[in-house]
Structure 1
Amino acid sequence: MRALRILLIVVVILGGLFAAADRLAVNFAEDEVADRLRRSEDLAATPDVSIGGFPFLTQLAGGKLDDVEVGIGTYEAAAGDGGTVRIDDLRADLEGVAFSGDFGSATATAATGTATIPYAELLRTVGSEPTQVAPGVTARITGLSDGGDGKIEVEIEATVFGVELPRPVTLLSSVAVRDGRVEVAADSLPRIGDVDLPESRLREVTDFRQAIDRLPGGIALDEVRATRDGVEITVKGSDVRLAG
């Protein structure tokens, strides 16, 4: 019995040492992957990286990580017109990450994630200028906000024969992904003053598309929905590059 107790104590100690070594190794790997990702994507700050699965050392020996979670606080995506659009709180879950021994290269077989485009940022990229929608009538978008039930509330300022309307006109719009872009389209069109406006001209103001390109590792826009803080985008990709 005494020998058995000693054996159990040795097993527990060795198990503890292995677990401690495993955690040290995974912490080192997380820091390395985060630094490589920061440099490869030219990020302003080092991203958060969390490597899942236990034990890590057996994954390390096999050259593939089961699950890696990446968090990027802010990221400047391409807006499609030579400008950029800021997305916040990008969170991605990557599966089957194959890597080189020094983490110089790392590629995931699949990735899914979410991020948010604040309404103020989306409005900035739209850059709405006063547009003539009928003789003597101009309109432009001046505000975007949460309209509830997955809708965006769009605020429009208008002038009729040089006189600005006393209150902005508001309408509810739906948001969707079309041809890889965020598309915002009015559910129904408002009246501006007492003027009958051609629908096609008014939609030149109310409806717009925004590209979200050059996302990290080659992930791409998949779905969108309106939330309280902005437009939440869902992204996905395959053969996603973290580094190298």
Structure 2
Amino acid sequence: MRALRILLITAVILGGLFTLADRLAVGYAEREVAAKIRSSQGLSEEPEVSINGFPFLTQVVGSELDDVSVSADGVTARAGGHAIQVTEVTAELNSVRLNGLSSAVADRATGSARISYADLAKSAPKGASVSYAGAERAAKGQVKVSGPAVELLESTGVDVPGFAEGLLKGRTITAYSTVSIVGGDTVRVRAADLPGLPVPGFDGMLRDAVDYDLKLDGMPSTVKLDKALADERGLRFSGAGTDVRLAG
């Protein structure tokens, strides 16, 4: 009985030491992976990395991690020459194949990110503002784009003649535009409907003024976006991919 008790105590102690060693090892690995992601993805700060699953050490021996979570906030991207803030950037990576800690590739990944309306408007046509369009239109993936008619037209290089300027002066244009994702990194804004202008031939020019693309440079390449959802705080994007390079 005494020998059995000693064996049980020894097993508990060894189990505790193994757990401690495992947690120390995973903490070190998370820091190393975060640093490599920052370097390989060109981020301004290190993301938070969580290597899930227990035990970690046996996953390392098998050169494959079951699940890795990556999150970053305040990622600075560029769109149309303007710096914009991309927040709530997350990625869930599954079946991550390791080559030491020098490189890693995930079999599958899902990701999401958010851009505020204020940042979305930075690359909109001059004079345009972008805002929440209400629950019904948001459910259709639409946002509200509005601005002074004369300024919007002139932003596309249209020379508004004096008689037309007199008719349009003081008129605010409101368009409800559908947002979509093109190529995994470009936000496309296209007017679903536009008000008519009291100047013949200017309706097409107005559409050219409110339709625009917003290409995001500097987003983590682990997040390939394909869907956009509008809510009160801005646009939330999500996407998925396979064979996603995490580092290296």
Secondary structure of the residue aligned to 1:221 is coil
Shift of 1:221: 2.0
Structure 1 vs Structure 2: percent identity of aligned residues?
Answer: 42
**1:114: which partner in 2?**
112
Say whether residues 1:155 and 2:146 are aligned partners: yes
Q: Which amino acid aligns with 1:110?
A: R
Distance between the aligned counterparts of 1:157 and 1:175, measured in 2? 21
**2:21: which partner in 1?**
21
Match of 1:227 among 227, 231, 239: 231
**2:90: which partner in 1?**
91
Q: Which amino acid aligns with 1:108?
A: A
Secondary structure of the residue aligned to 1:190 is coil
Uncovered stretches (5+) of structure 2, i.e. residues with no partner: 151-163
**1:243: which partner in 2?**
247
Paired residues of 1:65 and 1:95 also in contact (CA < 8 A) = yes
Q: How does 1:95-244 map to 2 (within 5 A)?
A: 95-101=94-100, 103-126=101-124, 128-129=125-126, 140-141=127-128, 143-149=129-135, 150=138, 151-159=142-150, 161-162=165-166, 165-166=169-170, 168-178=172-182, 180=184, 181-192=186-197, 194-195=198-199, 198-212=202-216, 215-217=219-221, 219-244=223-248
* Pairs aligned (count): 229
Secondary structure of the residue aligned to 2:86 is strand
Secondary structure of the residue aligned to 1:59 is helix
Q: Which amino acid aligns with 1:146?
A: Y
TM-score, normalised relative to structure 2: 0.81
Distance between the aligned counterparts of 2:196 and 2:5, measured in 1? 85
CA RMSD of aligned residues (A): 2.5
Paired residues of 1:176 and 1:225 also in contact (CA < 8 A) = no
Shift of 1:123: 1.2
Mean alpha-carbon deviation: is it higher for 218-227 or for 41-50?
Answer: 218-227
Distance between the aligned counterparts of 1:109 and 1:198, measured in 2? 51
Secondary structure of the residue aligned to 1:201 is helix
Deviations 1:64-110 (A, max 9, x none): 1111111121334454x666654222101111212222x11122122
Mean alpha-carbon deviation: is it higher for 62-71 or for 160-169?
Answer: 160-169
Distance between the aligned counterparts of 1:217 and 1:70, measured in 2? 12
Q: Which amino acid aligns with 1:105?
A: S
Q: Which amino acid aligns with 2:19?
A: A
Q: How does 1:57-68 map to 2 (within 5 A)?
A: 57-68=57-68
Give the direction of change, closer, same or farther, for the CA distance of 1:83–1:172 in structure 2 (3 Å limit). closer
TM-score, normalised relative to structure 1: 0.82
Paired residues of 2:91 and 2:223 also in contact (CA < 8 A) = no
Q: Which amino acid aligns with 2:87?
A: D
Deviations 1:153-209 (A, max 9, x none): 1122123525775463333222122455322222321245x4456542221122222
